Amino acid sequence: MGNQGTAAASGTFKIGGDLTVNRLGYGVMQLTGPGVWGDPADPEEAVRVLQRAAELDVTLIDTADSYGPFVADHLIKKALYPYKQDLVIATKVGFTRSGPDDWRPVGRPEYLRQQVELNLRHLGLERIDLLQLHRIDPKVPLEEQIGELALLRKEGKIRHIGLSEVTVDQLKAANEIAPIVSVQNLYNLAKRDAEPVLEYAEANNIAFIPCFPLATGALAKAGGPLDELAARLQAKPSQLALAWLLKRSPVMLPIPGTSKVAHLEENIAAASIQLSEADYEALSKLGQ
């Protein structure tokens, strides 16, 4: 199999009906300092991780202006510019940062516009393929937040609009203002509160990007059921968690993050794991 060991083995999905990506992507949040603030401990390894991801057929890289802030964007440009034609860089706006682990939603139209312009500059892009609203700001009418992104799309600065950490009702309301092609919510084997959002996304062919896809926590402890299944299938618990996500839904686009090349390679190898129905069901029962 030519795709063995690369992200191509995960199959493809068309975001917005026209952006084809390999379903197993890469999220860059861990390529920053502690608290997602400042530079990483090893900037050279961060560049190597990004370059290795591209070598392993990762065609979806997920970032945000708030990662660093802008540290991750600069690393992406340093590692991968000029970009391959099939690479989709998804980014997010809507948070402001004042220090490590401090995240404050700001959805004022002029702020969202400024951040889109800065994303374009820092990434070296003329258009952002997928721009996601990092959080809906409760202090600003949704029509103003999505409306500004729709205006930027009309101006050709954004190709598609996505949302992050929303309910089904919020997703529906935003979709009335402008077409929403993706949603990024917390979802993994151990935590599935976003199940209704995933079901809505699947029914409407909206990409579902699970953040923290590897947070398997207590499920992966030594001697536990996930550990036992991993031993039998000669895989790591984290690889099974990714394989389960890929099998869970055709609209699922996991973006596991890491700051180490070896861990990246391990994650991407999960694309080649074919879970049997029995193993999939056994894993599904673990998180309930």
Q: What are the domain boundaries of the chain?
A: 14-213+250-259
- Other C-beta atoms closer than 10 Å to the C-beta of 22 total 24
Q: Which residues contact 155 (CB under 8 A, 6 or more apart)?
A: none
The Cα–Cα gap between 275 and 272 comes to: 10
Beta bridge partners of 26: 61
The per-residue pLDDT for 287 is: 72
Q: Which residues contact 184 (CB under 8 A, 6 or more apart)?
A: 62, 92, 132, 162, 163, 164, 165, 208, 209, 210, 211
Which token pair is 218? Answer: 């207590």
The per-residue pLDDT for 150 is: 98
Residues 154-204: tens digit of each pLDDT: 999 999 999 999 999 999 999 999 999 999 999 999 889 999 999 999 999
Q: What is the mean pLDDT of residues 263-271?
A: 96
The per-residue pLDDT for 4 is: 62
DSSP 83: P
The Cα–Cα gap between 48 and 217 comes to: 28
Residues 86-123: tens digit of each pLDDT: 999 999 999 999 999 999 999 999 999 999 999 999 99
Q: 35-47 in b/e burial notation, b at 16+ Cβ within 10 A? A: ebbeebeeeeebb
Which token pair is 92? Answer: 């997010």
Which token pair is 54? Answer: 């591209």
Over its C-alpha atoms, the chain yields an Rg (Å, rounded) of 18
Q: Which residues contact 48 (CB under 8 A, 6 or more apart)?
A: 79, 261
Q: Is the pLDDT of residue 2 over 60?
A: no
- Residue 3 pLDDT grade (very low, low, confident, very high; cuts 50, 70, 90): low
Residue corresponding to tokens 């003329």: 126
Of the candidates 67, 111, 187, 200, the residue annotated as catalytic is 67
For the question of residue 67 being annotated catalytic, the response is yes
**CATH fold group of domain 14-213+250-259:** TIM Barrel (3.20.20)
